[in-house]
Chains A and B, each alone.
Chain A
Amino acid sequence: SQTIHQWPATLVQPVGSPLSLECTVEGTSNPNLYWYRQAAGRGLQLLFYSVGIGQISSEVPQNLSASRPQDRQFILSSKKLLLSDSGFYLCAWSVTYEQYFGPGTRLTVT
């Protein structure tokens, strides 16, 4: 069966520090991968979308970037965090129509 992992589960970082969040999927090949952010008052918003290794689409302009170095690995990064980057970051995967989410990473920027 397929599983999706995200780490770390929680993270507290100061403004201006770098960020790296990781997502890995097991039990499937060639998945579409997604990064979403859930922020207070703003709902759940798609940030990045990838259909394959090295193929990244950004959905909203922001201070973040994403990379997909391996088929089942998706990384969310920032060089310098802003207070507005705080939120709950969710990775998701799909092969057909159904889309499944990971457990999320709670990021607090102080």
Chain B
Amino acid sequence: SQELEQSPQSLIVQEGKNLTINCTSSKTLYGLYWYKQKYGEGLIFLMMLQKGGEEKSHEKITAKLDEKKQQSSLHITASQPSHAGIYLCGADAGGTSYGKLTFGQGTILTVHP
């Protein structure tokens, strides 16, 4: 089965600082999803990457998928308290597993004003 490892497990930054969260897969990814979760709430879809070398941005958040499609990074520029939460990466193995996502353990982000 596919496993996803996220690093770091937790991150504390000062408002205005940049940060990066990584997600590494044990297998080649068909699709890589990034979500944000506030404690006790549902997951908010951020971005989905499919192609090797693909990069997507939304506001101050940029996600990249490496050429081999086994590693993704999520970069936040000039962090704000509103960015605080749990960031989860999810993987779609494709084929008969299409749409069935496997998730990493999450990265807890704290942003101090």
Q: Which residues of A contact B (CB under 8 A)?
A: 32, 34, 43-46, 49, 59, 88, 90, 92, 94, 97-104, 106
Instruction: Determine the main DSSP class of B at the interface with A.
Output: strand
Q: How far is the CA of A91 from the CA of B57 in the complex (A)?
A: 26
Contact between A44 and B99 (Cβ–Cβ < 8 Å)? no
Summarize A's interface: helix, strand, loop or mixed. Answer: strand
Report the interface size class on chain B: 20 to 34
Q: Pick the contact of B40: A34, A49, A106 (CB < 8 A).
A: A106
Per the 8 Å Cβ criterion, residues 73-104 of B in contact with A are 88, 90, 92, 99-104
Given contacts A43-B105, A43-B106, A97-B31, contact A102 B99 (CB under 8 A): no
Q: Is the CB of B50 within 8 A of A103?
A: no
- Whether A32 touches B104, Cβ cut-off 8 Å, given contacts A97-B50, A101-B42, A106-B40, is no
B42 contacts which chain A residues (CB < 8 A)? Answer: 90, 101-104
Q: Do the beta carbons of B41 and A104 come within 8 Å of each other?
A: yes
Residues in B neighbouring A59, C-beta threshold 8 A: 100
A44 neighbours in B (Cβ, 8 Å): 88, 90, 103, 106
List A contacts of B41 (CB < 8 A): 103-104
- CB–CB B104/A99 < 8 A: no
Closest-by-CB residue of B relative to A41 is B105
Would you call B105 and A34 a contact (CB within 8 A)?
Answer: no
* Among B101, B102, B105, residue most surrounded by chain A Cβ atoms (within 10 Å): B101
A99 / chain B contacts, CB cutoff of 8 Å: 33, 45, 90, 99, 101
